[in-house]
C-alpha cells in the first residue's frame, strides 16, 4: 500500500518547477511567455493585503536546481533585497504554482527563490518610484541578477511590462500569528470580487444566479453608487481559488481575490 504521507511531500516538491517563468517545459501550450491577447484594466485590482497565513505544505523545502542549491528563509522578518524584477503571464496562466495553487496573472502574486510561501512583499520600482504589495506563492526567477518574478497585474501596476525588467527593492511585510484568544476571529478570510455596476438590480440578480450555479455564498456591497458582487467569504485560500476559476469560466474574466 502506498504511504500517502510520504507521497505528498514528493508530489508537492515536484511543483517547484511548475510555475517559474525561467523553467521552460513542454507542458505549456506556448513556448515564449507573452502578455494576454486582450488585457483587462488592472486599476480595480488592489494590492495584496498582508495577513497571517501558515506556511504551505508544498514549496517550502530546500531544493537544488541546475546545480544551484537554495535554502528557504525560515525567519523572513526584516528581509530586504535589491535587484531586477521580471514578470510572467499568459504562458503560465492556469498552471500550478510551487505550492499547488493556480497561477492567475491577474492576481497580485509573485515568485521568489527563497522566501517562505506564502510571504507578503512590498515591491518598489526604483526606476520610477512606483510601489505595490504582492503575495509570494511561487518559486523563481532563475536568471542571474533577477530576484523576483511578478504576476502580469503586479508588473503592469509597476510599469514593468513596458520595459520587460526593472530595478527593484523588495521588503517582507510580516504579520504576527494571532494569539490563541483571538485566533478564531483573526484567521484570514477571502472573497472573490466578480463585477461592479451602477445598476443595483442587475448586481443583485447576478449575485443570486452565481450563488445557485456555484453553490457558494454571495453578497452585494454598495458604496458611492457602485454595487459590487462578491462570492464568499472563504476561510481557505484554495477554495477561494476554485471559486475564482469557476466564475472566470462563466465569462467574468476580470474577477479577482481580495481579503475580506
The pLDDT score that the predictor gives to residue 202 is 92
What pTM, to 2 d.p., does this model score? 0.62
- The CATH number linked to 232 is 3.30.70.1070
The pLDDT score that the predictor gives to residue 176 is 86
Q: Are residues 29 and 152 in the same domain?
A: yes
Instruction: Cite the DSSP H helix spans in the chain.
Output: 4-13, 152-157, 183-186, 200-214, 237-249
The pLDDT score that the predictor gives to residue 5 is 38
Q: What is the pLDDT of residues 68-113, one digit of tens each?
A: 999 999 889 999 999 999 998 766 666 688 888 888 888 899 999 9
The verdict on residue 205 lying in a domain is yes
Q: Which residue has the cell 484570514?
A: 188
The pLDDT score that the predictor gives to residue 32 is 52
Q: Are residues 158 and 206 in the same domain?
A: no
The verdict on residue 7 lying in a domain is no
Q: What is the pLDDT of residues 1-44, one digit of tens each?
A: 434 333 333 333 443 444 454 444 444 444 455 556 666 677 78
Strand-pair category, 146-151 with 80-88:
parallel
Q: Are residues 133 and 197 in the same domain?
A: no
End residue of a domain, out of 143, 172, 201: 172
Q: Are residues 142 and 255 in the same domain?
A: no
The mean per-residue pLDDT over the stretch 163-186 comes to: 80
Q: How far is CA 211 from CA 194, 202, 219, in A?
A: 12, 14, 9
Q: Is residue 229's pLDDT more than 90?
A: yes
End residue of a domain, out of 172, 205, 221: 172
The verdict on residue 4 lying in a domain is no
The verdict on residue 2 lying in a domain is no
- The CATH number linked to 121 is 2.40.40.10
The C-alpha atoms of residue 63 and residue 25 are separated, in whole angstroms, by 18
Decide if 219 contacts 200 (C-beta within 8 A): no
The parent domain of residue 83 ranges over 21-172
Element (H, E) at 63: strand 63-65
Structurally, the chain folds into a number of domains equal to: 2
Q: Are residues 27 and 147 in the same domain?
A: yes
The verdict on residue 15 lying in a domain is no
The pLDDT score that the predictor gives to residue 16 is 40
Apex CA 143: angle with CA 138 and CA 146, to 5°?
75
End residue of a domain, out of 130, 145, 172: 172
Q: Are residues 123 and 205 in the same domain?
A: no
Name the nearest CA neighbour of 125 among 161, 88, 89.
161
How much of the chain, in percent, has pLDDT values that exceed 90? 49
Q: Are residues 97 and 30 in the same domain?
A: yes
Q: Are residues 69 and 163 in the same domain?
A: yes
Q: Are residues 134 and 213 in the same domain?
A: no
Amino acid at each position: 500500500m502506498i504511504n500517502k504521507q510520504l507521497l505528498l511531500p514528493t508530489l508537492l516538491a515536484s511543483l517547484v518547477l511548475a510555475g517559474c517563468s525561467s523553467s521552460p517545459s513542454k507542458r505549456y501550450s506556448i513556448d515564449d511567455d507573452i502578455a494576454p491577447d486582450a488585457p483587462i484594466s488592472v486599476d480595480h485590482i488592489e494590492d495584496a493585503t498582508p495577513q497571517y497565513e501558515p506556511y504551505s505544505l508544498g514549496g517550502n523545502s530546500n531544493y537544488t536546481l541546475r546545480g544551484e542549491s537554495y535554502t528557504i528563509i525560515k525567519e523572513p522578518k526584516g528581509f530586504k533585497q535589491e535587484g531586477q524584477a521580471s514578470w510572467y503571464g499568459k504562458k503560465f496562466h492556469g498552471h500550478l504554482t510551487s505550492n499547488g495553487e493556480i497561477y492567475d496573472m491577474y492576481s497580485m502574486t509573485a515568485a521568489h527563490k527563497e522566501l517562505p510561501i506564502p510571504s507578503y512583499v512590498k515591491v518598489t520600482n526604483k526606476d520610477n518610484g512606483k510601489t505595490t504589495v504582492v503575495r509570494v506563492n511561487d518559486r523563481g526567477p532563475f536568471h542571474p541578477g533577477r530576484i523576483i518574478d511578478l504576476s502580469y497585474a503586479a508588473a503592469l501596476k509597476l510599469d514593468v511590462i513596458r520595459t520587460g525588467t526593472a530595478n527593484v527593492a523588495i521588503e517582507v511585510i510580516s504579520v504576527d500569528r494571532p494569539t490563541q484568544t483571538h485566533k478564531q476571529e483573526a484567521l484570514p478570510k477571502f472573497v472573490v470580487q466578480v463585477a461592479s455596476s451602477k445598476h443595483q438590480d442587475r448586481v443583485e440578480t447576478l449575485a443570486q444566479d452565481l450563488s445557485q450555479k456555484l453553490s457558494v455564498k454571495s453578497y452585494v456591497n454598495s458604496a458611492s453608487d457602485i454595487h459590487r458582487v462578491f462570492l464568499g467569504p472563504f476561510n481557505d485560500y484554495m477554495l477561494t481559488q476554485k471559486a475564482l476559476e469557476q466564475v472566470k469560466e462563466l465569462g467574468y474574466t476580470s474577477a479577482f481575490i481580495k481579503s475580506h
